[in-house]
């Protein structure tokens, strides 16, 4: 088997809406495929088909060697799924949630308890294990959700926007948990709205828009198309902008542009310019409000790929489903 999962030509319609118009996705075992796309792009629909929760109208998909339609039970035994919206039972404790899922997966009572304890420890939830999940913070819930998807030692894990709404520190926690699973040989499909997240975790990225893959490649290849990192500097005193612009040009070798009032931006490769820049700013006593290195936002990625703004294909229909996110 060369692919841990492979989808070819997936089509899915919901009434008048065509959510997927012919999507191909694949990942080799032990790798991460990042599926990057705006609201309504079709990410959750693709995940639900691969996880056997929806039947495609056309096309086919195999996961862990089995067809998702003909051998759905075989597929289900080998996958874990963390949905976009937390699915833990708030009235149960963290430990009870995991034990219940283990029991649903046919583990014996003691095996379910052992596996729950193991995952609670791994996900840093042992202390909170006896508390109702309803009292957990957003980050703790995501960790519990992720733990729940791993009870049965799945070969393939689907993570649907696992960090949306988390603050950066909690997001980093989730990232390291994902990396740890991958290091153990798990294959991951991760959907996200952040290029930064796909860049941090994925071996390959598929960008989807309006139900179609519009770009596919390694993070490096994608960044070559959409642009790499940009350095942003916002001096505390806007009167010093010309001074900072000159300094940036000297340090980076490129004349900066101004993407907004009071801020300068310049494309850079890597973070090598940061240390000399900070030293120069200190030397010339320029205080800054913002000094950041960032990848293009999803909007910028889409603009670079399509020349279009990221307006969801079905704005009205998305309201009901995506409003909470």
Q: Per-residue x/- marks for ligand ATP, 4-33, CB under 6 A?
A: ----------x--x-x--------------
Which of 23, 8, 22 has its CA nearest to residue 69? 8
Q: Does 229 engage in binding with ligand ATP (CB under 6 A)?
A: no
Region from 37-45, 73-81, 238-246, 249-257 binding ligand ATP, contact rule CB under 6 A: 37-45
- The rounded distance, in Å, linking the Cα atoms of 166 and 193 is 13
- The rounded distance, in Å, linking the Cα atoms of 324 and 314 is 16
Region from 42-50, 212-220, 245-253, 301-309 binding ligand ATP, contact rule CB under 6 A: 42-50
Q: Does 44 engage in binding with ligand ATP (CB under 6 A)?
A: yes
| Residues paired with 13 in a beta bridge | 18
Q: Which of 4, 36, 41, 159 binds ligand ATP (CB under 6 A)?
A: 41
Which of 163, 95, 97, 99 has its CA nearest to residue 128? 95
Q: Does 317 engage in binding with ligand ATP (CB under 6 A)?
A: yes
Yes or no: say if 189 and 5 are a contact pair by the CB < 8 Å rule: yes
For 202-315, where are the E strands, in sequence order?
Answer: 204-209, 212-217, 229-235, 257-260, 263-268, 288-294
What's the helix, strand, coil split of the chain in %, to 5?
40, 25, 35
Question: In 212-297, which residue ranges form alpha helices assigned H by DSSP?
Answer: 219-226, 241-252, 274-283
Q: Which is nearer to ligand ATP, 39 or 82 (CB)?
A: 39
Q: Which of 21, 111, 288, 313 binds ligand ATP (CB under 6 A)?
A: 313
- The rounded distance, in Å, linking the Cα atoms of 173 and 274 is 25
Yes or no: say if 198 and 206 are a contact pair by the CB < 8 Å rule: no
Q: Which of 44, 82, 181, 209 binds Mg ion (CB under 5 A)?
A: 44
Q: How many CB atoms lie within 10 A of CB 242?
A: 9
Q: Which of 5, 34, 36, 37 binds ligand ATP (CB under 6 A)?
A: 37
Q: Which of 52, 82, 84, 209 binds ligand ATP (CB under 6 A)?
A: 84
Q: Does 192 engage in binding with ligand ATP (CB under 6 A)?
A: no
- The rounded distance, in Å, linking the Cα atoms of 322 and 299 is 18
Q: Which is nearer to ligand ATP, 211 or 235 (CB)?
A: 211
Cβ burial of 261 (10 Å; 0-12, 13-18, 19+) is: exposed
* Closest approach of Mg ion to the CB of residue 296, in Å: 21
Q: Which of 31, 87, 297, 318 binds ligand ATP (CB under 6 A)?
A: 318
Region from 87-95, 118-126, 285-293, 316-324 binding ligand ATP, contact rule CB under 6 A: 316-324
Residues in 77-116 that interact with Mg ion by CB under 5 A: 84
Q: Which is nearer to ligand ATP, 41 or 247 (CB)?
A: 41
Which option in Mg ion, ligand ATP, none does residue 42 bind, with CB closer than 5 to 8 A by kind?
A: ligand ATP
Q: Does 83 engage in binding with ligand ATP (CB under 6 A)?
A: no
Q: How many CB atoms lie within 10 A of CB 272?
A: 10
- Binding residues (CB under 5 A) for Mg ion: these are 43-44, 84
């Amino acid at each position: 088997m060369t692919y841990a999962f492979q989808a070819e030509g997936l089509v899915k319609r919901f009434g008048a809406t065509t959510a997927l118009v012919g999507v191909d996705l694949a990942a080799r075992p032990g790798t991460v495929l990042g599926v990057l796309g705006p609201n309504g792009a079709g990410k959750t629909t693709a995940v639900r088909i691969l996880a056997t929760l929806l039947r495609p109208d056309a096309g086919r998909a195999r996961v862990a060697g089995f067809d998702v339609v003909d051998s759905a039970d075989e597929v289900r035994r080998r996958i874990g799924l963390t949905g976009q919206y937390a699915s833990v039972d708030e009235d149960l404790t963290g430990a009870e949630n995991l034990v219940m899922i283990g029991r649903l997966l046919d583990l014996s009572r003691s095996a379910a308890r052992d596996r729950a304890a193991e995952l609670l420890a791994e996900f840093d939830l042992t202390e909170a294990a006896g508390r109702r999940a309803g009292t957990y913070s957003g980050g703790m819930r995501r960790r519990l959700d992720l733990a729940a998807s791993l009870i049965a030692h799945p070969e393939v894990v689907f993570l649907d926007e696992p960090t949306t709404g988390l603050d950066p520190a909690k997001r980093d926690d989730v990232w390291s948990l994902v990396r740890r699973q991958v290091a153990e040989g798990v294959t991951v499909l991760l959907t996200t709205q952040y290029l930064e997240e796909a860049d941090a975790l994925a071996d390959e990225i598929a960008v989807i828009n309006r139900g179609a893959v519009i770009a596919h490649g390694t993070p490096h290849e994608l960044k070559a198309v959409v642009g790499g990192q940009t350095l942003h500097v916002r001096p505390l005193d806007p009167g010093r902008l010309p001074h900072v612009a000159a300094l940036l040009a000297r340090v980076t070798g490129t004349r900066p542009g101004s993407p907004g009032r009071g801020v300068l931006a310049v494309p850079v490769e890597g973070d090598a310019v940061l240390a000399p820049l900070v030293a120069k700013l200190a030397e010339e006593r320029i205080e800054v409000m913002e000094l950041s290195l960032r990848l293009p936002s999803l909007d910028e990625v889409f603009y670079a790929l399509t020349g279009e703004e990221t307006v969801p294909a079905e704005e009205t229909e998305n309201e009901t489903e995506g409003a909470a996110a």
